[in-house]
Amino acid sequence: MSKRIICLIGRRLATAALLLFIVAAATFALIHSAPGGPFSADRAVSAEVEAALNAQYQLDKPLASQFASYMSNAVKGDFGPSFRYPGREVSELIAAGLPATLELALYALLLALLVGVSVGAIAASRPGSLRDQLPMAVALLGICLPAFVLGPVLALTFGIYWEWLPVSGWGELRGDKVLPTVTLAAGYCAYIARLTRAGLRQQLEQPFIVTARSKGLREPAVILKHALRGALLPVIAYLGPACAGLIAGSFVVETIFQIPGIGRFYIQAAFNRDYTLIMGLTLFFAALIIFFNLLADLAALWLDPRQREGV
């Protein structure tokens, strides 16, 4: 069995490499076809300067050879120098922004899981009652409310009117991680709550639950010990894309709360036509998404014996 899992991982990794190559080629083609270049500015630079700069960054070579030299370096882990920030390597910029982005995503994921699963469980335990309908209505609102609305609303309420929490930063002032985490987690939290509720409702109707109840087990024990494991399968399957989304999607939250993460770099890099930084970040995000999807699949295999049969 474990051999089969290793085979599966191997196959997935091979597809991943091909996928990354396609992503790289498509991104390269797209950014070079976008008008404007890294050195265009409102205040025109003289032709001599532009030529010198293009030569320095090998932008005067044919596109195919630029791509080939980029890929051969990237395979060795060298993503080149940033065009926008002379003296900085792309890998250095990613490394500078990654801790904040990862930390934010991790906290948001934990919060989303904790609140989402709890609320889902509460809602599922008394379907149709107020404690089902109220949290589910809030969850629907959470899914609908985008971060760029929720973030400022939270910042204004808790940061400016009540002055309880800082409205910006990451790890600088006490409590500054709370609002960004809540903002990022909200949508995921709501989605997980709905998934958990649906999963639990289905599980609670199974014969083994009826047996457990008839033996006199109390409802919390029934949910925690018996029903939840099966009910969480859809949640686990959702975690792969959720993780990738939390990391890649944190750029809105990073901008609202002035968090020095890689999401902010991504936006700036696109506006600045910082070709190497865009390439590096796109490949990085693509690799992350592939990795988390693989991880979610493996977790599902571990939790659900039925799926193992198919491998």
Partner 1 sequence: MAIWRGFGGRILLMLLATLSLISCSPSERRVDSGTEQGILHWGNASEPQSLDPHIANGVPEQKIMSALWEGLVGKHPKTLEPIPAGASHWQISPDGRHYRFYLQRNARWSNGDPVTASDYHWAWWRALQPSLGNPFAEMLFVIAGARDYWRGDISDFSQVGVTVVDNYTLDVELAHPTEHFLQLLDMPTLFPLHRASIELHGSATARASRWIYPGNLVGNGPFQLDDWQINRRIRVTKNRHYWDAKQVALNQIIFYPTENITTEERLFRAGQLHYSYDVPVNKLGYYQAERPQQLSIAPYLGTYFYRFNTRKPELADPRVRLALAKAVDRRQLTERVLRAGQLPAYAMTPPNTAGYFPPSAAEQQLAFDPAAARQLLADAGYPNGAGLGVLEILYNTQEEHRKVAVAIQQMWKTHLNIDTTLHNQEWKVYLDTERRGDYHITRASWIGDYLDGRNFLEIWLCDSDNNRTGWCDPEYDRLLLDELPAVSDKAKRHQIMRRAEQRLLDGLPLLPIYTYTSKHLVHPDLRGFYPNLLNQPLFKALGLQREPTTADE
135 to 154, contacts with partner 1 by CB under 8 A? Answer: 152
> What are the DSSP calls for 151-196, one per residue?
HHHHIIIIIIIS--S-SS-SSSSTTTTHHHHHHHHHHHHHHHHHHH
CA distance 25 to 299: 31
Beta strand segments in the chain, E: none
Q: Is 249 in the site for partner 1 (CB under 8 A)?
A: no
CA distance 58 to 273: 15
Q: Which is nearer to partner 1, 275 or 292 (CB)?
A: 275
Least separation, in Å, of the C-beta of 256 and partner 1?
Answer: 6
Least separation, in Å, of the C-beta of 247 and partner 1?
Answer: 16
CA distance 233 to 239: 10
Least separation, in Å, of the C-beta of 222 and partner 1?
Answer: 11
**Contact in structure between 303 and 229 (CB atoms under 8 Å):** yes
Q: Which is nearer to partner 1, 1 or 44 (CB)?
A: 44
Interface with partner 1 (CB under 8 A), residue total 72
Q: Is 156 in the site for partner 1 (CB under 8 A)?
A: yes
Q: List binders of partner 1 among 214-233 (CB under 8 A).
A: 219-220, 223-224
Least separation, in Å, of the C-beta of 81 and partner 1?
Answer: 5
Q: Is 45 in the site for partner 1 (CB under 8 A)?
A: yes
Q: How many CB atoms lie within 10 A of CB 232?
A: 23
CA distance 271 to 40: 11
Q: Is 202 in the site for partner 1 (CB under 8 A)?
A: no
Per-position x/- string for 250-289, each x denoting binding to partner 1 as judged by CB under 8 A, each - no binding: -----xxxx-xx--xx--x--x-x----------------
